[in-house]
Homo-oligomer: A and B are copies of this chain.
């Protein structure tokens, strides 16, 4: 591995450790980080389906199913059977769920805050563009 790549590898390792460490943190606003991520996904992908969520999070349908059961019981999301294809249930967040997303100081927001505070406008734009470029390449060919 060349020197530049190695340097990137190391900072990326730190980033991954940091992200993973934050998944184990306790709940904020009554929901865990995992629940929060699910709610936010549904918020940003209104009317999405369970299958779609399972794929996005790379977890099995039963895992998704159980999480939804919990989130529905908590009144954070709702399901509605599609009239066109009754196998499908469309998802949306409730007012309570939306409130949590809108008012949570979540982990990503904290990182974005730090990034925007500590980098110049040009640097932040550059970081976003570069990260995005790498993510695109990974996404298209699959890691």
Residues in A lying within 8 Å of B, measured CB to CB: 1-2, 4-9, 11-25, 37, 40, 56-59, 107-119, 121, 123-128, 130-135, 137-139, 141, 143
Task: Kindly state the separation between the CA atoms of A99 and B83 in the bound complex, as whole angstroms.
Answer: 55
Main secondary structure on A side of the interface with B: helix
Known pairs A8-B124, A14-B135, A114-B138 / 13 extra A-B pairs, C-beta < 8 Å: A1-B112, A6-B112, A7-B125, A8-B131, A9-B109, A11-B128, A12-B108, A12-B111, A12-B115, A16-B37, A20-B37, A127-B130, A131-B131
Interface pair A131/B127, CB less than 8 Å apart: yes
A137→B15 CA distance, assembly (Å): 12
